[in-house]
Amino acid sequence: MGVLLQVRNAYKRYGDQVLLDGAEMTLVDDVKVGFVGRNGAGKSTLLRVLLGDEELDSGEVIRHPKLRLGYLRQHDPFQPGETGIDFLMRDSGQPDWKCGEVAGQFELKGAYLEGPVSQLSGGWQTRLKLAALLLHEPNLLLLDEPTNFLDLRTQILLEHFLREFQEACLIVSHDRAFLGATCTHTLDLGRGRLTMYPGKIDAFLTHQAERRLQDERTNATVLAKRRQLEEFIAKNKARASTATRAKSKSKQLERLETIEVFGDEPSARIRPPEVEPRKGPAVRCRDLSIGYPERTVATGIDVEIDHGQRAAIVGDNGQGKTTFLRTVVGSLPPVAGDVRWGYGCSIGVYAQHVYTSLPPERTVLDHLEYVSAPGTKPQQILDMAGAMLFRGEAMKKKISVLSGGERARLCMTGLLLSQHNILVLDEPGNHLDVDTIEALAEALREYKGTVIFTSHDRHFMKQVATCIVEVRDSRVTNYRGDYDAYLYAVNREIDEGEREAAAARSKTKIPGGPAPKAARPAKRTEREIRKEQQGVERQIAKLDDQRKELDAKLQVATDPHEAMELHEKVTALSDQLGPLEEKWLVLQEELNDADS
């Protein structure tokens, strides 16, 4: 296991803010690392240091002589009028057939590859950037929030690529599902120190919570012992007969020290707006067409969302999710049909990129006082601001100096202080760290109002959504299934597409190289096939028995939390049964061929 890159005794600060304080890190050549930490902790700064775009105050970065860095930059690397294939050839210096082969891994073909890059959505442009990275054959990829604004299908393609990528990766992301699917190790940046954990993000977060609890218990024991010693010393230091013992206890007291609690940093605890629960339809769309004067995006929309539901709007980028949301809230007029909200609906909107429109001259406190509902007490504003990590001097900061994550939190704070009974949220988790996203999900689950939202964060989606509205192929419909079912369907489509692409590549002759020979698989005996089929049958029977048992419990469950847990378990078992049943059918076909 070779060392590609090391950071030793690194120090970095901006003014009074310490980002790196004696930090150390080692990256080896076959490990994929998820890089986490609070917003503003210094993750992007460290990436710039590793790339050589920024210098440490002190310390060193040691790079292996054969290190080849690949970095997914956020800026636009394309030239005016350039096609996808032109960009890949210019950027990599590789021939067109090689560029096309690599682009195919990201479903880039036809007009997406041969048409102008300027006409592609952000997600498809990101696919081009990823293909360009791969063509440079890096042995260490640095990815900074790669899933921001990527649709689900592109995220899954990126996951597949990273799982098959045989070299090292360092990935900054707030998306727990993405990190869990791609990274085997977790790197945490907190209080200026780097800590490498040899496990996935969920295991790391569990370990972090357990370690914090253990440290708090240790400190409680130390403080109790300290009080005992202080009481003994106070009682006995003045007496000649016990002064020696008191002096000895004083030395013991000096040696007693509390330890710094792991992860002992302010946590976001978000309180949802307190609203009265309502029943019936919150919004109805009837024969609705959405779009713009020059282009209709979707037609024939008949969608209804009830009060109390948390509706997730899903679909690929460019299909019209944001257009649908804008039409629903009235910022974009319908092309045809109508949108009707129920009586007494108060709608609060968190729009994509909304934090960029905040007035820069206001302070955090000024802005929250301005947007809060009439009658909101000053202490309520301070409590909500504190829950979103704006405390003390941070309340006096001008918006112009806030980071993107801080602005996003400020916008969300203002929305939660407004007491709306309908929340329409377009990508609320972008630029929020893992802890704040988790707190927001919990708050939305407790919220008694209605939530209509989009998000590319699958963990957030699973935590929040109670119903799914799909935007696809110029239609908007209520999806018949939960978010897990939708994920399964998208994964299946991608897997089938990848199998077709692999089959096509195996038949394609590469210019300048020999034609590939078709490998003839060895024919298995009937006994071997039946043995494997019997094993699959046993697995199916076992899972089916478990599902029936859970179904029976679900029928009589009265506690809603228990019922939800049982439903999630039944869904998970159904997801496992599907592929097994398909495998059994494939084996049966193979058995029929063997018999004939």
Q: What's residue 119's pLDDT?
A: 84
Predicted local distance difference test score (pLDDT) of residue 187: 94
Residues 469 and 481: their CA atoms lie apart, in Å, by 10
- Cα distances (angstroms) measured from residue 141 to each of 10, 41, 159, 190, 464: 21, 21, 13, 22, 32
Per-residue pLDDT averaged across 390-399, rounded? 89
Instruction: Please enumerate in sequence order all residues whose Cβ is within 8 A of that of 57, keeping only pairs 6 or more positions apart, or say none.
Output: 11, 12, 13
Give 510's pLDDT tier (boundaries 50, 70, 90). very low
Question: Do 150 and 158 meet the contact criterion of CB atoms below 8 Å apart?
Answer: yes
Q: 16 or 353, which is more confident?
A: 16
Q: What is the CATH number of domain 3-198?
A: 3.40.50.300
- Tell the residue number behind the tokens 């102008």, with chain if given: 116
- Are domains 3-198 and 281-486 of this chain identical in fold? yes
Residue 536 DSSP SS3: helix
pLDDT of residue 271: 82
Q: How far apart are alpha carbons 333 and 325 in whole angstroms?
A: 11
Mean pLDDT of 364-368: 94
- Please check whether residue 225 is in contact with residue 254, taking contact to mean a CB–CB distance below 8 angstroms: no
Q: Mean pLDDT check: name the lowest of 184-193, 319-328, 482-491.
A: 482-491
User: Taking all residues of the chain, what is their mean pLDDT, rounded to a whole number?
Assistant: 83
More confident residue, 31 or 375: 31
pLDDT tens digits, residue range 249-300? 787 777 777 656 555 455 567 888 888 999 999 999 999 999 998 889 999 9
Q: What percent of the chain has a predicted confidence (pLDDT) above 90?
A: 33
Which residue matches tokens 């952000």?
122
Predicted confidence band at 361 (pLDDT cuts at 50, 70, 90)? very high
Can you give the pLDDT at residue 582? 67
Lowest mean pLDDT among 53-57, 138-142, 369-373, 546-550: 546-550
Mean pLDDT throughout 529-545?
A: 78
**Residue 174 pLDDT class (50, 70, 90 cuts):** confident
Contact 470, 441 (CB under 8 A): no
Rounded Cα gap, residues 11 and 58, in angstroms = 5
> Rounded to two decimals, what is the model's pTM?
0.66
Residue 589: band (very low, low, confident or very high) from pLDDT cuts 50, 70, 90: low
pLDDT, residue 520, reads: 38
Q: What is the mean pLDDT of the segment spanning 143-158? A: 82
Q: What's residue 170's pLDDT?
A: 95
Check residues 576 and 68 and name the one with the higher pLDDT.
68
Q: What is the pLDDT of residues 292-314, one digit of tens each?
A: 988 899 999 999 999 999 999 99
pLDDT at 436 over 90: no
* Structure-model confidence comparison of residues 4 and 229, the more confident one: 4
Q: Is 282 left (phi over 0), alpha (psi -120 to 50) or beta?
A: alpha
Which pLDDT value is given to residue 517? 39
Residue 341 has pLDDT above 90, yes or no: yes
pLDDT recorded at residue 490? 85
Indicate if the pLDDT at residue 83 is higher than 90.
yes
Separation CA 436–CA 438 (nearest Å): 5
Q: Is the dihedral of CA 210, 212, 217, 221 positive or negative?
A: positive
Confidence at 368, pLDDT banded by 50, 70, 90? very high
| pLDDT at residue 518 greater than cutoff 60 | no
Cα-to-chain-centroid distance, residue 256: 42
- Averaged pLDDT for residues 435-443: 86
DSSP at 267:
-
> Helices marked H in 513-559 — which ranges?
526-556
pLDDT value for 294: 87
pLDDT score, position 409: 82
**Residues 328 and 340: beta-carbon distance below 8 Å:** no
In angstroms, the Cα distances linking 221 to 217, 225, 258 are: 6, 6, 9
Domain positions in the chain: 3-198, 204-255, 281-486, 526-596
Q: Which fold has domain 281-486?
A: Rossmann fold (3.40.50)
With beta carbons less than 8 A apart as the criterion, state whether 253 and 233 touch.
yes
**Range 439-461 average pLDDT:** 92
Weakest-pLDDT range from 17-21, 127-131, 587-591: 587-591
Q: In what order do the strands lie in the sheet with 347-350?
A: 347-350, 422-426, 450-454, 310-314, 467-472, 475-478
Q: Tens of pLDDT along 561-576?
A: 565 676 668 677 776 7
What percent of the chain is modeled with pLDDT above 70?
86
Kindly tell me if the per-residue pLDDT of 509 is higher than 50: no
**Range among 469-478, 548-557, 583-592 with highest mean pLDDT value:** 469-478
pLDDT score at 322: 86
Give the pLDDT band (50/70/90) at residue 337.
Answer: very high
